[in-house]
Amino acid sequence: MQNCYAYEGLKKLATSLLNGSGMDRAKSTVIADVLLEGDLLGHDTHGLQLLAPYLSDIKSGAMAVTGEPDVINDLPAAIAWDGKRLPGTWLTSKAMDLAVNRAETYGTCTVTIAGGHHIACLAAYLLKATENNMVAIIMSSAPENKSVAPFGGITGALTPNPIAVGWPTDDEPILIDVSTSITTNGMVGRTTQTQKKLNGPWLIDYKGRPTNDPSVITSDKKGALLPIGGLEYGHKGFALGLMVEALTQGLSGHGRADNVSKWTGEVFLQVLNPALFGGITQFTRQSSWIKEACLKSTPIDPKNPVRMPGQEGLKKRQHQLKHGITLHPSIMPALSQWASSIGVALPSPIN
């Protein structure tokens, strides 16, 4: 059964667990905000589900709890950080704030982060830019992981390598958050735990056969996730995945060539300020026109009209802020173990 919890109760739980594990209090608040934003938008494999493994990495020392990133380069519109195993959620949130600020003056700002920890849901950062009438592009890869097969291959070589982009329109922004693989490691892991099958043949087994059985990822004869497009058109997802690797690991200077063995997040983040290009009025005129043209497209099924990327997530966000966040049944039991050991009270469900 899925229980519903008030936003503030879940935020208090997350910050208390992080604080009790030794995380800097200012960082705890940001981490909690980012994780909850993922749940609010409906990305529930990349929200509070990640908190328990984050706490495990804090305990083992794999996630740093204090300090600042080292600055590799800092030019007005180009910044490179060494993340020093600091929380990727905090680093990326800090980078977004900096990029939005710099883009006010320079029109654009790009930040790369090398060697930080996992950054959770990429869409969780986009509203910081779109609410300031700016465009944001975020990409992330995890060089310790080789779960996604290249097109034509069976053995994994890449990660799902998500891409998120957000931009303003005359009303609600467009929010894109997609992986370059058909599914994600988080979804495969959750499906494995519940001993269920995936909704489609999104994996490939060791014989090169597409399958919906998540056990092929953990079996001795390991398979892999398929890139977007699958066996027939996977060259498209593979190409996008390679682009993400280049922009996150190549530009940051840290990645697979360094034999990374710990859970990490290499990040490319760019903000563009339309006001210093063709103007925000012209930008939203164009973005709103194509949005309306898509929404007016005759639907295949009249009961399921066309919707824009992020539309359902924003609707869910508004509803859950008002009525409570619905958590997947696996999340609270995992957090309750940490709450018990740290001495933190669990929030009561509101339904």
Which of 13-17, 183-187, 207-211 is least confident?
183-187
Percent of the chain scored above 90 by pLDDT? 94
In the chain, the domains with their CATH numbers are 1-11+67-180+231-329 (3.30.1370.60), 183-225 (3.30.60.50)
Secondary structure (H, E, C), 216-253: HHCCCCCCEECECCHHHHHHHHHHHHHHHHHHHHHHHC
Mean pLDDT of the chain: 96
pLDDT for the residue numbered 217: 92
**pLDDT for the residue numbered 1:** 54
Condensed to tens digits (0 to 9), the pLDDT of residues 7-53 reads: 999 999 999 999 999 999 999 999 999 999 999 999 999 999 999 99
* Residue 219 pLDDT: 87
Whether the predicted pLDDT of 226 surpasses 80: yes
Q: Given a cut of 90, is residue 4 above it in pLDDT?
A: yes
Overall average pLDDT of the 93-105 stretch: 98
Q: Which residues contact 282 (CB under 8 A, 6 or more apart)?
A: 274
118-171 residue pLDDT tens: 999 999 999 999 999 999 999 999 999 999 999 999 999 999 999 999 999 999
Percent of the chain with pLDDT over 70: 99
Mean pLDDT, rounded, for 102-116: 98
For the segment 330-342, what is each residue's pLDDT rounded down to a tens digit? 999 999 999 999 9
Q: pLDDT band for position 5 (50/70/90)?
A: very high
pLDDT value, residue 3: 85
pLDDT at 336 (0 to 100) = 96
